[in-house]
Chains A and B, each alone.
Chain A
Amino acid sequence: MNMVVCVKRVPDTSESEVHIDASGKDIDKSRLSFGINECDNYAVEEAIQIKERLEGNVTVISLGGKDSDEVIRMALAKGGDDAIRLEDDAFAGGDALAVAKALAGAVKGLEYDIVFTGALTDDDGYAAVPVALAELLGVPHATYVKKVEILEPGKKAKVGRELEGGLMEFLEIDMPCVLGIQTGINEPRYASFKGIKQAAKKEIAVKSAADLGLDAADIGEAGSWAVLEQFTPPVVGEMAEILEGEPDETAAKLAGILKEKGLV
């Protein structure tokens, strides 16, 4: 089984304050930590587990600058074999379509049975890359995938898609195909020390838009469905009454409120 897994380096904003920068079109990333997009981490694990069960090859692809080497190397350290990084100024400002076009350009040159991507990214959250990528490649797809069973290597898989309310929809899909992986499908491993040392020596092939045969007018912001005009803070409803003070005081205030409302 030849597998490709697409990964993205994103800022971790889940527990951090997010500030709009002076341009109004980006966020201040100076105080944020970066890492692999959460769904992509599960996608990497799924590809590696299949490789371990059935043998094969896992190629890691990421669109991004040199900073992205860190997430690529971590995927290699866990069991990835080869790596390609797509870097070009012309990729800047791209939405899900532009990203999918770049990834399609890279995947077309490879032998593959399954392309794994995360179902969505933690930053823009379009959740459109896997399905758009499949259409560009002319192969079937499924997204929000939370279960993969290989029925016939290189031929057919049974996959479970997570629907609303936790209902699972199972379907059979022919390979080659693109699967958008949802979090929780597996337990992503930590890379071993030995794996990290080996991955450090591996070559990451860097490819430009021209290398992929892509026209600059068709990628990045120019090749996107939509471009960002500006960020604004979200419109919130009536804000919570914030209880002020040291932990001792806020806890006492809250306990008092709960008691008063008959909740404790």
Chain B
Amino acid sequence: MKDIFVLIEHRRGEMRDVSVEMLCGAGKLGGTVVAVLLGKDVDAFADKAAGYADKVLYVNDAMFENYNSELYQKALSALIKEHGPGLVLMGNTAQGVDLAPALAVELGAPLVTDVTAVEMDGDKPKPTRTFYGGKLDAHLAMKDADLYILTIREATFQAEDPSKSGEIVKVDNPVSEDVAYRKFVEYVEPEVGDVDITQSTLLVGVGRGIREDKNMPVVEELAQAIGADLAASRAVVDAGWLPSDRQVGISGKTVKPKLYLAVGISGAFQHVTGMKGSEVIVAINKDPDAPIFGIADYGIVDDLFKVVPKLVEKIKELKGA
């Protein structure tokens, strides 16, 4: 079997968890696992990756201090041509999604993004991913090729303890010139608001099911009755009904309250990632197949506008008693 390349992702001095997960997962697919690390003075990440890989290809150059899709593409393309792996894995992250499709087009390598499970048929991967916001699993057949690329959703593979001590090979930077047409400028931190929901013990999460701004009092009353803070799914923040510091999920906050009461939230992966560590999860949603019920402890399948006002009444009664 041909080698598997795993692109190590790091940002601002931190190596991302999905990198270790992919190295561990790749080890189970068979073949030699080669970690590919592009960065500036990130020897610690090379050492860390070596604990999970058979080999580490490490390009140390100021050019890679911050991610730039154009430079990453050039370097990866050169390394792939030189070493001839059969499969390249990247995280299905803001970086991987910005990079993999261009690399795949350039190299004529079939790509499947956001993969949630994969089996190998010889050198050819058979990936599974979700469609319709996680409501269906899609089993895909990839075109025959010499090289395949997959972007892997986080937590698809399990991170394990390091068990290897791969050779770290320092590689000369295969990219000779910097590019001018795409330049990194800066990182800007998200805005901070009045409530830090990562510190809240009780949260009412509100989603698309609330439908309109004018319906927000329905969940505000619930939060007040329980003594909870309000959190939101992406749709509610995009619509401007709650500020962005209340957003839970991949692009927002990760919360672990004692109670997360999800109201009108379908439970797309992007949201669930940010709240699955909550102690008790309750979901109210009218779609019985909503993915949120797969991770909730308790569920009510009904119209939130009928259930929530009743719930407010009952909680007030109990509190008064």
By a CB distance below 8 angstroms, the chain A residues around B319 are 264
How many whole Å from B282's CB to the nearest CB in chain A?
Answer: 7
By a CB distance below 8 angstroms, the chain A residues around B294 are 234, 236-237, 239-240
By a CB distance below 8 angstroms, the chain A residues around B227 are 264
By a CB distance below 8 angstroms, the chain B residues around A144 are 94, 97-98
Interface contact A225-B104, CB-CB below 8 Å? yes
By a CB distance below 8 angstroms, the chain B residues around A163 are 11, 93-95, 187, 251
By a CB distance below 8 angstroms, the chain B residues around A241 are 297-299
Interface contact B133-A122, CB-CB below 8 Å? yes
- Contact partner of A228 (CB less than 8 A), chosen from B138, B184, B235, B314, is B138
How many whole Å from B213's CB to the nearest CB in chain A?
Answer: 12
Interface contact B180-A174, CB-CB below 8 Å? yes
Known contacts A125-B130, A131-B98: A140-B70 contact under CB 8 Å: yes
Q: Which of A212-264 contact B (CB under 8 A)?
A: 224-237, 239-243, 247-248, 250-252, 254-259, 261, 263-264
By a CB distance below 8 angstroms, the chain A residues around B314 are 251-252, 254-256
Interface contact B280-A167, CB-CB below 8 Å? no
A78 interfacial by beta-carbon distance below 8 Å: no
Interface contact A264-B113, CB-CB below 8 Å? no
A126 interfacial by beta-carbon distance below 8 Å: yes
CA distance A130 to B36 in the complex (A): 25
Interface contact A122-B132, CB-CB below 8 Å? yes
Tell me if A's interface is mostly helix, strand, loop or mixed: mixed
- Contact partner of A184 (CB less than 8 A), chosen from B226, B234, B286, is B234
CA distance A101 to B133 in the complex (A): 25
Q: Which of A14, A230, A237 gathers most chain B CB within 10 Å?
A: A14
B75 interfacial by beta-carbon distance below 8 Å: no
Interface contact A168-B114, CB-CB below 8 Å? no
Q: Which of B110, B132, B315 gathers most chain A CB within 10 Å?
A: B132
By a CB distance below 8 angstroms, the chain A residues around B225 are 264
A-B contact pairs, 18 of them (CB 8 A): A14-B133, A17-B289, A125-B114, A126-B112, A126-B114, A129-B101, A131-B100, A142-B182, A162-B251, A170-B186, A225-B111, A225-B112, A233-B289, A236-B294, A248-B310, A258-B226, A263-B258, A264-B226
Chain B contacts to A: CB under 8 angstroms: 11, 66-70, 93-95, 97-102, 104-106, 110-114, 127, 129-143, 180-190, 202, 208-209, 225-227, 234-235, 237-238, 240, 244, 247, 250-254, 258-259, 264, 266, 280-283, 286-289, 291, 293-303, 306-307, 310-311, 313-315, 317-319
